[in-house]
Amino acid sequence: MHRSVPTALIACALISASAVNAASRDFTHALRRSITIAGHESERFRLKDRMAHYAVPGLSVAVIDKCRIIEVRAFGNAAPGGEPVTRHTLFQAGSISKVVTAVAALKLVEQGRLSLDADIRARLTSWHLPESPLLAGRSITLRGLLGHTAGINQEGGIGYPRGSKLPTLREILEGRPPANTASIRVEHAPETAWRYSGGGYYITQALMQDVTGEAYPALVSKLVFRPLGLKEGSFSHPLDQRHSLLAARAVGPDGSPLEGGWRENPELAAGGLWTTPHELARFVISIAHSVRGEAGGVLSAASARELMTRGLGNWGLGVDLGSPDQARHFGHTGHNVGFTSEFILYPDSCKGAVVMNNADQGGWLNTEVLRAIGDTYGWPDRIPAPVQSAIPLTDAIAARFVGTYQLRDFPSERFVISRRVGGLYWARHGHIGRDLIPATEGKLFSPDSKLTLSDAARESRAETLTLSFGARTNVAIRVAD
């Protein structure tokens, strides 16, 4: 390590490029951050060190190559300080549940029981969408619900403590206690914009149940799980005893154990799936077979084309298709309180992976793991991380930035910049944070993400900071030293 590199870089152990080559095709030695420090482009990290860095107790991975699962690996603990993660440890899949929902809904379309483009309101019997002037002359369609273009509110929920009374689907839709989320309604005209909507999937679940007369877990099992031979996953909340024994226990946003081990998520179609990376990879491969026109696919060729048709926001039906200038792929992330997950698959080469962990803030780690797998197995679109020059941290720079700040437009949102052994650290109130490194005397950046903080006034003590998260910016005001 060059002496001019800030000491914050030693927060996680680094290994040399030659060591990476020696550990051929071992992604666990090949993690790299979102930002590379100039002069250290070949530095890579060990997975176990990055798990400690992000306070992730356990992680499970399934790697896909040529439509085969070639690696299933488990790391760390299924509960903080508890038993090791195994390939059978269950994790909450969060919003990846929506992909399963979309496939199950398309199966009902194949059977002629649902239509992608008919107005779904006439088929709903257990609940009715409130009328709105925004619906004048417009329809609410299954296509819009699955593709997040139906104009429905509610991005997602926060779950319920274990042992508490869980709301019914109707109570969730109507926003009535014990539901802890607002009622579902139209908030903008359908098919005029893309806006991520868990609420649209609550409606989809009601629609599927009303049309078939079957409870959602049993319906998905019949349409998707049993035909594919998937036996480990469950949409049941609360879990039965067998699944509870296999379920990972999570840590919350601040890295401490989550009370009760996890939260219940009765919004099943939107975020209720418990599963393993191995089973989720089998499901994803079955979609890829359908997209490729091969035997063994879960969907018909026509349904697969619908799923992969690019709509507003670069989304298909239940899947994120990414930018049109990237290699063809589909994927999704998942986040329930205490759990993060992600998968991506490139159907033309049939390469991809599924990553799941039991940490609320584990998304950064998932990104690094997927990046390492992609580097190791030669995925398309592998782009080198941006390179950022850095200067040494001085007492003057630390004194300038250390303090507590609140966002000008969202005063309840606060963060702290603190000095630790090795460098500066940024953290939202009640959350684990990320390292900060000086780019200049008036600008800090996080190598773990695209966050930058700038003090344009260039005083000895910053009073106002500009935060940048890629294309988005915000302003923060100092409220305490």
* Predicted local confidence at residue 64, as pLDDT: 98
Query: How much of the chain exceeds pLDDT 90, in percent?
Result: 90
Residue-wise DSSP of 343-369: EEEETTTTEEEEEEESBTTTHHHHHHH
Q: Is residue 37 part of a domain?
A: yes
> Do 318 and 416 lie in a common domain?
no
Q: Is residue 335 part of a domain?
A: yes
> Do 347 and 399 lie in a common domain?
no
> Do 443 and 467 lie in a common domain?
yes
Distance CA 68, CA 208 (A): 31
18: pLDDT strictly greater than 80: no
Q: Residue 322: which residues within 8 A CB-CB, separation 6 or more?
A: 314, 329, 331
CA distances from 333 to 320, 338, 385 (A): 9, 14, 21
* Predicted local confidence at residue 3, as pLDDT: 32
Q: Is residue 70 part of a domain?
A: no
Averaged over 397-413, what is the pLDDT? 95
Q: What is the CATH number of the domain that holds 332?
A: 3.40.710.10
Query: Which pTM value belongs to this model?
Result: 0.92
* Predicted local confidence at residue 155, as pLDDT: 96
State the first-to-last Cα distance of the chain, in angstroms, to the nearest integer: 33
pLDDT-derived band at 17, boundaries 50, 70, 90? very low
Q: What is the CATH number of the domain that holds 450?
A: 2.40.128
* Predicted local confidence at residue 4, as pLDDT: 34
pLDDT-derived band at 459, boundaries 50, 70, 90? confident
> Do 50 and 128 lie in a common domain?
no
Distance CA 261, CA 89 (A): 14
> Do 213 and 326 lie in a common domain?
yes
Q: Contact 200/207 with Cβ under 8 angstroms?
A: no
Containing domain of residue 294, as a range? 91-361
Q: Is residue 284 part of a domain?
A: yes
pLDDT in tens, 149-204: 999 999 999 999 999 999 999 999 999 999 999 999 999 999 999 999 999 999 99
* Predicted local confidence at residue 204, as pLDDT: 98
> Do 378 and 404 lie in a common domain?
no
* Nearest alpha carbon to residue 318 among 280, 270, 367, 363: 270
**In the beta sheet, which residues pair with residue 274?**
92, 234
Q: Is residue 181 part of a domain?
A: yes
Residue-wise DSSP of 171-239: HHHHT-TT--SPPP-B-S-TTS-----HHHHHHHHHHHHHHH-S-HHHHHIIIIIHHHT--S-B--SSP
pLDDT in tens, 73-111: 999 999 999 999 999 999 999 999 999 999 999 999 999
* Predicted local confidence at residue 329, as pLDDT: 98
* Nearest alpha carbon to residue 72 among 277, 228, 230, 233: 277
Averaged over 358-372, what is the pLDDT? 97
pLDDT-derived band at 443, boundaries 50, 70, 90? very high
Distance CA 14, CA 51 (A): 13
> Do 232 and 324 lie in a common domain?
yes
pLDDT-derived band at 471, boundaries 50, 70, 90? confident
> Do 313 and 189 lie in a common domain?
yes
* Predicted local confidence at residue 456, as pLDDT: 85
* Nearest alpha carbon to residue 318 among 205, 180, 225: 205
The token pair that represents 454 in the structure block: 């700038």
Q: Tell me what the pLDDT averaged over the chain comes to.
A: 93
> Do 354 and 267 lie in a common domain?
yes
* Predicted local confidence at residue 16, as pLDDT: 37
Distance CA 230, CA 263 (A): 24
Chain Cα centroid distance, residue 190: 25
Count of domains for the chain:
3
Q: Is residue 213 part of a domain?
A: yes
Helix (H, G, I), strand (E, B) or coil at 10: helix
Length of the chain, in residues: 481
* Predicted local confidence at residue 11, as pLDDT: 34
CA distances from 100 to 156, 286, 317 (A): 17, 11, 11
> 150-185 burial by CB neighbour count: b if 16+ within 10 A, else e?
bbbbbebbebbebeeebbebebbbeeeeebebeebb
Q: Is residue 71 part of a domain?
A: no
Averaged over 291-311, what is the pLDDT? 97
Cis peptide before 227 (omega within 30 of 0): no
Distance CA 331, CA 145 (A): 18
> Do 144 and 275 lie in a common domain?
yes
| Among candidate residues 361, 379, 407, the one where a domain is terminated | 361
pLDDT-derived band at 457, boundaries 50, 70, 90? confident
> Do 256 and 136 lie in a common domain?
yes
Which residue has 């803030």 as its token pair? 361
Q: Is residue 76 part of a domain?
A: no
Q: Residue 41: which residues within 8 A CB-CB, separation 6 or more?
A: 384, 387
Which residue has 């191995």 as its token pair? 278
Averaged over 62-66, what is the pLDDT? 98
> Do 99 and 50 lie in a common domain?
no
pLDDT in tens, 344-353: 999 999 999 9
SS (H, E, C) 369-428: HHHHHHHHHCCCCCCCCCEECCCCCCHHHHHHHCEEEEECCCCCCEEEEEEECCEEEEEE
Averaged over 429-450, what is the pLDDT? 94
